[in-house]
Chain A
């Protein structure tokens, strides 16, 4: 039963493709798999941290000021990530730029705080945070892989070459903003396509 809280975020209610949340970082930092992984680890940390703290405090926060309270908790976690990333992974911090502090307005996090953590127990909220965080990671890494391979003809993750150079003339447009929109459109259409097919077969 409890495991459901963890797995629902992965596929069934994937925050990106199902709930359509957190689009801004999704498109902005998905140019490379490195960046996508770094970003989603940061989001995972903030999501789990704020879910747990908000769930702990849920009976104690007056409903009238719950949104400001949630926001302060989330923003604190974001700042912690920001500071430690600057100190310990400066290159990543520089590439992600203002999208690190912008995690604070990522709708996934406030959405989970409001819809889940403020009502459920700590252990449920912890699992929900991990599930949603990993769901976000799956989505963003999928998009980043497509964009990196198509735009550079290769894939390098933290210095390791996963896919060597396939072509001398890659599709540069995939790196630029239009490529991001194209990729997510095609992935969504594929998901729709399989859903329609499956419904027809039934």
Chain B
């Protein structure tokens, strides 16, 4: 009995010590990088906000931002995200108060390089500007957005993501 207890202690102490050292090291690394990581995320959001409404200031209300120009409300900006072809697509959407889309800016996506990634390029995203929410559908689905050749899935995914979220925000702001 005594023997086996001794054996367990002898075996487990090194493992426990290694785990403690590992935990301590990682806590230090986490503290060292925590602010930077938070900054990375915030910077991406700020950058995309200024791409949507250049020169405006923003007030965060709930889960969307109200864009103010010279103290006057000009529209709303919100993050829409959902599943794309391979991974999550995260995009910033700008919308005027009357419910037309001002523009979209893809914050992050993991689509197929060279094909699906083109949803982030201006050639594609510019199509959203000035469209009414109900027209944010692919042309073959009865909307006004031309899909990218060879990347219909990614094109449809981002269109659906933007429209669904925009419909929610329109109801919230009304």
Contact = CB atoms under 8 A, between A and B. Distances in A.
**In the complex, A touching B, CB below 8 Å?**
yes
Interface of A: 31-32, 57, 60-62, 64-65, 68-69, 72-73, 75-76, 79-80, 83-84, 86-88, 90, 94-95, 97, 151-152, 170, 172, 175-176
26 contacts: A57-B14, A62-B10, A62-B14, A64-B11, A65-B12, A65-B14, A68-B15, A69-B15, A69-B18, A72-B15, A76-B25, A79-B26, A79-B29, A80-B26, A80-B29, A83-B29, A83-B30, A84-B29, A86-B33, A86-B40, A87-B37, A90-B40, A90-B44, A152-B114, A172-B150, A175-B115
B14 A69 contact: yes
Contacts of B44: 90
In this complex, which of A57, A68, A80 has the most chain B Cβ atoms within 10 angstroms of its Cβ? A80
Contacts of B22: 72-73, 75-76
**Overall SS of chain A's interface:** helix
Interface stretch (B66-74, B105-113, B163-171): B105-113
Contacts of B12: 65
Given A64-B11, A87-B37, A87-B40, 11 more contacts: A32-B113, A57-B14, A62-B10, A72-B22, A86-B37, A88-B36, A97-B110, A151-B114, A172-B114, A175-B112, A175-B115
Contacts of A31: 113
**Overall SS of chain B's interface:** helix
Interface residues of B, number: 26
Nearest to A79: B26
Contacts of A172: 114-115, 150
In this complex, which of A79, A87, A95 has the most chain B Cβ atoms within 10 angstroms of its Cβ? A87
Contacts of A79: 26, 29
Contacts of A61: 14, 18
A12 B18 CA distance: 34
Contact of B11 (A65, A72, A176): A65
A72 B33 contact: no
B55 interface: no
Contacts of A83: 26, 29-30, 32-33, 37
B87 interface: yes
A94 B18 contact: no
Given A75-B22, A176-B112, A87 B87 contact: no
Contacts of A97: 87, 110
Interface string B23-45: 00110011011001100100010
A153 to B, nearest CB: 10
A64 B173 CA distance: 63
Contacts of A90: 40, 44
B40 A76 contact: no
B26 to A, nearest CB: 5
A62 B11 contact: yes
